[in-house]
């Protein structure tokens, strides 16, 4: 008996392997500072918990519509439209078990085997995994360092586009590098999509996870509404990562296909969790602001320390909860050529656990800088200080 051949093309979120190594080190009695996982160590707001419990007590425990319960679809259409300065009809909203399922279902809807999909690399690793698993050609575009962060390598994006390219994945505000598009960059991506008549998946998982400035969606640019599927999630904004609630906002023809896929795969998203989603959207928004205040403080503490570590450089990101410092010179100083070895040795010497650039897509030809990703969403400010101070001392004494 053999397993299916396509499994050889299935990737994963290798960050979970880093979590296992960290857990193993901790189980051996060592102190660990968790900077590896993009999860929050902050609780779901009490009124959301109450709404979920009330829904269970009220018997909202059976099957419900595959595209989501109507009041949640209405609340999402209203909230997502308003925050993007546009309007959506509830039948364009398809509720899912988190934001992640939108990726694979979008690709199944628009990409036949052999067709190409442009995607960010470094980027959320599930893009590359799902494109290849479903038999497509993964066409990466990278980022270039700028004076205040990173910019999409638009030339590379244009050069990677072939006659067989059918879709583009765009993640603004970006995991892992915290990049944020300028208006000009967003327009250039939209122009590429229009010119080549591409479907676009706009991954807006971090749309409201920002400390300064305002977010904008590529879906609202001219010619984009009819080709763009927005990935929305409750995971970050409402600290609901484990509740698994998100949605796609899509042109009607795609929305109806996504809904049928839901019926095939899950039947529906957990019924009572959807009622908690309504409470999250329509209830008190102060917990969201409070959480962003906590995260902003962590960002500032982490940035200052990282920038003081010999050879490490980072710009202060205005959004998400990741730092993506350039560690090329740190590695040189430590006499190491391999960023994975650096991560392992850092864990064993200091307890600081983090992912590297390699966890976010296959490195591209010509890449000559090394980066690590530090997530500050799951670690308190005091532990950030303690952990990064230990990392600094270890590097200084090398």
Nearer to ligand PMP, 233 or 353 (CB): 233
Number of residues interacting with ligand PMP: please give it, by CB under 6 A. 13
CB of 245 to ligand PMP, least distance (A): 8
> Is 175 a binder of ligand PMP (CB under 6 A)?
yes
Q: What is the CA radius of gyration of the chain?
A: 21
Classify the C-alpha dihedral 146-147-150-154 as positive or negative: negative
Nearer to ligand PMP, 60 or 100 (CB): 100
CB of 229 to ligand PMP, least distance (A): 13
Among positions 28-67, residues that touch ligand PMP (CB under 6 A) are: 38
Nearer to ligand PMP, 81 or 246 (CB): 246
Nearer to ligand PMP, 171 or 356 (CB): 171
Answer yes or no: are the C-beta atoms of 67 and 255 closer than 8 Å: yes
The span from the CA of 44 to the CA of 239, in Å, is 5
CB of 280 to ligand PMP, least distance (A): 13
The span from the CA of 303 to the CA of 148, in Å, is 13
Q: Which stretch binds ligand PMP (CB under 6 A): 76-84, 95-103, 188-196, 272-280?
A: 95-103
* Helix (DSSP H) and strand (DSSP E) numbers for the chain: 13, 14
The span from the CA of 307 to the CA of 77, in Å, is 41
> Can you tell me whether residue 169 is helix, strand or coil?
strand
In sequence order, the 6+-apart residues with CB closer than 8 A to the CB of 26 are: 32
> Is 243 a binder of ligand PMP (CB under 6 A)?
no
Site for ligand PMP (CB under 6 A): which residue of 34, 65, 142, 246? 246
Answer yes or no: are the C-beta atoms of 175 and 123 closer than 8 Å: yes
| Nearest-CB residue for ligand PMP | 98
> Can you tell me whether residue 352 is helix, strand or coil?
strand
Site for ligand PMP (CB under 6 A): which residue of 66, 81, 99, 157? 99
Answer yes or no: are the C-beta atoms of 370 and 326 closer than 8 Å: yes
CB of 57 to ligand PMP, least distance (A): 26
Classify the C-alpha dihedral 351-354-357-361 as positive or negative: positive
Please, what is the Cα angle at 97 between 87 and 287, to 5 degrees? 70
Q: Which stretch binds ligand PMP (CB under 6 A): 98-106, 141-149, 286-294, 325-333?
A: 98-106
Beta bridge partners of 152: 143
CB of 271 to ligand PMP, least distance (A): 18
Site for ligand PMP (CB under 6 A): which residue of 36, 100, 227, 299? 100
Among positions 154-173, residues that touch ligand PMP (CB under 6 A) are: 171
Per-residue binding string, ligand PMP, 101-140, x by CB under 6 A, is -----------------------x----------------
CB of 120 to ligand PMP, least distance (A): 9
Site for ligand PMP (CB under 6 A): which residue of 81, 98, 142, 351? 98
Nearer to ligand PMP, 271 or 373 (CB): 373
CB of 31 to ligand PMP, least distance (A): 25
> Can you tell me whether residue 298 is helix, strand or coil?
helix
Nearer to ligand PMP, 240 or 305 (CB): 240
- Integer angstrom CA distances of residue 304 from 308, 317, 323, 334: 6, 12, 11, 21
Q: Which stretch binds ligand PMP (CB under 6 A): 54-62, 94-102, 348-356, 366-374?
A: 94-102
> Can you tell me whether residue 124 is helix, strand or coil?
coil
Length in residues, the chain = 398
Among positions 182-241, residues that touch ligand PMP (CB under 6 A) are: 203, 205, 233, 235, 241
Nearer to ligand PMP, 32 or 37 (CB): 37
In sequence order, the 6+-apart residues with CB closer than 8 A to the CB of 292 are: 209, 210, 211
In sequence order, the 6+-apart residues with CB closer than 8 A to the CB of 208 are: 83, 215, 236, 237, 288
In the complex, the residues that contact ligand PMP under the rule CB under 6 A are: 38, 98-100, 124, 171, 175, 203, 205, 233, 235, 241, 246
């Amino acid at each position: 008996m053999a397993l299916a051949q396509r499994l050889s093309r299935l990737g994963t979120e290798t960050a979970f392997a880093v979590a296992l190594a960290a857990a193993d080190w901790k189980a051996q009695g060592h102190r660990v500072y968790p900077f590896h996982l993009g999860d929050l160590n902050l609780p779901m707001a009490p009124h959301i918990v109450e709404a979920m419990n009330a829904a269970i007590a009220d018997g909202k425990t059976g099957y419900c519509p595959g595209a989501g319960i109507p009041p949640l679809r209405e609340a999402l259409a209203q909230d997502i439209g308003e925050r993007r300065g546009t309007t959506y009809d509830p039948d364009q909203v398809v509720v899912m078990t988190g934001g992640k399922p939108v990726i694979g279902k979008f690709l199944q809807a628009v990409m036949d085997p052999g067709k190409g999909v442009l995607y960010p690399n470094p980027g959320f690793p599930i893009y590359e995994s799902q494109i290849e698993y479903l038999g497509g050609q993964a066409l990466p575009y990278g980022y270039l360092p700028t004076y205040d962060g990173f910019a999409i390598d638009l030339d590379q994006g244009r050069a990677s586009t072939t006659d067989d390219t059918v879709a583009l994945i765009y993640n603004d505000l970006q995991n892992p590098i915290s990049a944020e598009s300028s208006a000009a960059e967003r327009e250039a991506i939209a122009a590429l999509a229009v010119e080549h008549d591409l479907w676009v998946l706009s991954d807006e998982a971090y749309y409201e996870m920002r400390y300064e400035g305002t977010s904008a969606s590529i879906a609202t640019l001219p010619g984009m509404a009819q080709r763009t599927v927005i990935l929305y999630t409750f995971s970050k904004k409402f600290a609901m990562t484990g509740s698994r609630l998100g949605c796609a906002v899509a042109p009607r023809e795609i929305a109806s296909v996504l809904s049928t896929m839901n019926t095939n795969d899950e039947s529906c998203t957990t019924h009572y969790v959807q009622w908690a989603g309504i409470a999250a959207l329509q209830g008190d928004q102060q917990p969201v602001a409070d959480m962003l205040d906590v995260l902003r403080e962590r960002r500032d503490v982490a940035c200052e320390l990282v920038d003081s570590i010999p050879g490490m450089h980072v710009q202060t990101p205005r959004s998400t909860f990741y730092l993506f410092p350039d560690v090329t010179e740190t590695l040189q100083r430590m006499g190491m050529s391999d960023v994975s070895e650096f991560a392992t040795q850092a864990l064993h010497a200091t307890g600081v656990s983090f992912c590297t650039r390699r966890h976010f897509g296959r490195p591209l030809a010509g890449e000559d800088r090394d980066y690590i990703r530090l997530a500050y969403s799951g670690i308190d400010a005091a532990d950030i200080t303690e952990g990064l101070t230990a990392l600094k001392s270890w590097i200084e004494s090398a």
